[in-house]
Amino acid sequence: MSLIWIKDLRVSFDGVQVLHGINLQVGKGESIGLVGESGCGKSVTWLAALGLLPQRAQISGSVTLEGRELVNASRGELEQVRGGRIAMIFQDPSSSLNPVQRVGKQLDESLRLHRGLSGATARAEAIRLLDLVGIPSAKTRIDLYPHEFSGGQCQRIMIAMALAGEPDLLIADEPTTALDATIQAQILDLLATIRHETGMAMVFISHDLGAVSAVCDRAAVMYAGRVVEQNHIGELFDNPRHPYTVGLFEAIPELQGPRRRLQPINGTVPNPRHLPRGCAFSPRCAHASDFCRSAQPALLQQPDGGQVACFHPVRDPRRTFSPASAELAA
């Protein structure tokens, strides 16, 4: 049975619909990546699931955590889930931490709220958590303020706070985007280790396909408020079916292989106020037919275990999307 099950989740802000029916399941201990460009709704999906969107957001559909409904749940119920069952970390750690409170005190608060620890036990646990996430000399540094730590260390502290409630699911929203390359590698490594040790599930939201490949088992690609493709990491990258997924992969330069001219996706992400008719990707898609411009493809189960929402899925993407002109003129 899946840990969390999102069914037909729709969100609109002031009458502008930004999520158009998201269906997603996360199993126990599973790590799933959510990729897509800015504005595609990958963060909104989870903010909506946790009841963290502002009042003016209209939410419909269902999000169940082991059978318990979270959409329109009472504040008390949600507060038990948030932090305790599902924890979330964000892109910018320094703005998530309270700058005028010592790190230890902020960890204490989580431990008191979610685990009922206090005093010396809470402090010992806080030190253990800081050790776990790799803060050097945690015993002496627990009483420092957030500004006395570097960006990478602040993200480690955020992870420690998220772990304080012993959650079943960690939602990491672009956790490494603001960090330097070598620090990003450290944090990805830490997330993988912690998941291995605690068996918690993870949703990793990122536009960095490399980072997603490093820590996830499965990934869902989102475009304009819909999931357009979903599959296991290996399958998804070896054999992407949706033209947007293929375009996304082609647009990202590689560190290996011949140097080449990048392959951009023409056009821009559509404005949610003026979504094109039919498939939202059709104006940018080389495969689009008249049918694509009038009807909306559903996300359908594929024989290889994945799901694709496209009327003309790509068969052999490497051949179709790598014209000879891609090689750089010397």
Partner 1 sequence: MSVLLQASGLCQQYTTGKTLFKHPTVVRAVDSIDLEIREGEIAGIVGESGSGKSTLGRMLLGIEPPYRGELTWRGAPMPAPGTPEWRRLRREMQLIFQDPLAALDRRMTIADQIGEPLEIHGLVPREAIRNRVSELMGKVGLRPDQAGRYPHELSGGQRQRVVIARALAMAPKFLVCDEPVSALDVSIQAQVVNLLYDLKLEEGLTMVFISHDLKVVRNLCDRVVVMYLGRIVEEGPADEIFANPRHPYTQALVSSVPSAGRGHAKRILLQGEPPNPASRPSGCAFHPRCHLADAACKAEAPALIRDSHRLAACLKLRAAPNQDQVREIHA
Query: Smallest distance from the beta carbon of 115 to partner 1, in angstroms?
Result: 30
Instruction: Count Cα atoms within 13 angstroms, Cβ side, for 39.
Output: 10
Nearest to 123 by CA among 101, 140, 147: 140
Nearer to partner 1, 4 or 18 (CB): 18
Helices (runs of H) and strands (runs of E) counted in the chain: 12, 12
The residue behind tokens 């960006």 is 151
Amino acid (1-letter code) at residue 84: G
Toward partner 1, which CB reaches closer, 150 or 198? 150
Instruction: Count the neighbouring beta carbons within 10 Å of the beta carbon of residue 23.
Output: 17
Letters for 190-229 (x = contact with partner 1 by CB under 8 A, - = none) are -----------------xxxxx-xxx--------------
- Check binding of 326 to partner 1 (CB under 8 A): no
Instruction: Answer for the pair 70, 82: CB distance below 8 angstroms, yes or no.
Output: no
Q: Does 252 help bind partner 1 (rule: CB under 8 A)?
A: yes
Question: What's the closest the beta carbon of residue 234 comes to partner 1, in angstroms?
Answer: 7
How far is 212 from 210, CA to CA, in rounded Å? 5
From candidates 52, 73, 78, 183, binder to partner 1 by CB under 8 A: 183
Q: Applying CB under 8 A, does 261 fall inside the site for partner 1?
A: yes
Residues of span 27-86 touching partner 1 by CB under 8 A: 37-38
Interface with partner 1 (CB under 8 A), residue from 80, 150, 198, 302: 150
Query: Which pair of structure tokens corresponds to residue 214?
Result: 């490093």
Return d(Cα 205, Cα 219) in angstroms, integer: 10
Of 8 and 189, nearer to partner 1 (C-beta) is 189
- Nearest residue (CB) to partner 1, 67 versus 258: 258
φ, ψ at 53 (rounded to 5°):
-80, 155
Selected from 15, 75, 268, 290, the binder of partner 1 by CB under 8 A is: 268
217 vs 305: CA distance, rounded Å? 13
Q: Which is nearer to partner 1, 28 or 260 (CB)?
A: 260
Q: Binding residue for partner 1 (CB under 8 A) from 113, 185, 296, 312?
A: 185
Which residues, in sequence order, are bridge partners of residue 222? Answer: 227
Taking the C-alpha atoms of residue 152 and residue 175, their distance in angstroms, rounded to an integer, is 10
Positions touching partner 1 (CB under 8 A) are 37-38, 150-153, 180-186, 188-189, 207-211, 213-215, 233-234, 236-238, 247-249, 251-256, 259-265, 268-269, 328-329
